[in-house]
Amino acid sequence: MKVLDHFKTITQHKLLVMKGCFQLGLYKQGLLHDLSKYTPEEFFTGVKYYQGTRSPNTAEREDKGYSAAWLHHKGRNKHHYEYWIDFNVLDPDHILYLAPMPDKYIVEMFVDRVAACKIYNGEKFTYADPLAYYNRGNTGQFLHPYTRKMLVGLLKMYEAKGEAYTFHYIRKKILKNIRK
C-alpha cells in the first residue's frame, strides 16, 4: 500500500506545482517539475520511508544520517537552492559559493514550497504555512542574498495577501521579461 500512497502523494504534489507554474506561464517547468521523483533512486526510497505527513527524505536522513534520494534529487532539479551551491576556490574564508538563482527557478521554488505545504497540511493549510516552513529550517544561510530576498519576499506576500495577489505580482513584476 505504501507504493500507491507514495505515488499518489508525489503525483498530487507534481500536479499542484504544475498548476501553479501554468498559471504563471512557466509551462516547461510545470511539465518537467520533479520528474526525478519517479526514478528508482528516489521512488523506492520514498516508498520505504513514506509517512504521508512529511518528506520521506527526512526519515531516510534520520535513519542513515543522510538521504541518498535527496542527493540524487537536488542535483537534477534547478528549483532547489542546493543545486546552486558550489565550492568557493576564490575566497578561502568562505568554503561555499552561493550562486544567485535565476528568477524563474526562484518562482518555481516558491510554488514548490506552497504545494508541499498544501499536500502535507491538507485541510489545515493556511497562507502562513509556507513562510513558517521556511522559518523552521536553516535555508536562509545557504541562499545567495538575492535569492533569499526574493523567496522571503514572496513568502511574506503570500502570507499577507494570498495566492491570487502573489501570483498576479509574480506574472506582472517578476516574470514579465522572462521568455517562457
Express each pLDDT in 26-67 by its tens digit: 999 999 999 999 999 999 999 999 998 889 999 999 999 999
Half-sphere exposure of 179 (CA within 13 A, CB side): 0
pTM, two decimal places:
0.93
Q: In the predicted model, what is the mean pLDDT of residues 168-177?
A: 94
Q: In the predicted model, what is the mean pLDDT of residues 71-100?
A: 95
Tell me how far apart the alpha carbons of residues 141 and 59 are, in angstroms, rounded to a whole number: 23
Q: Phi and psi (nearest 5°) for 52? A: 90, -10
* E strand segments, 24-159: 85-87, 96-98
Residue type, 135: N
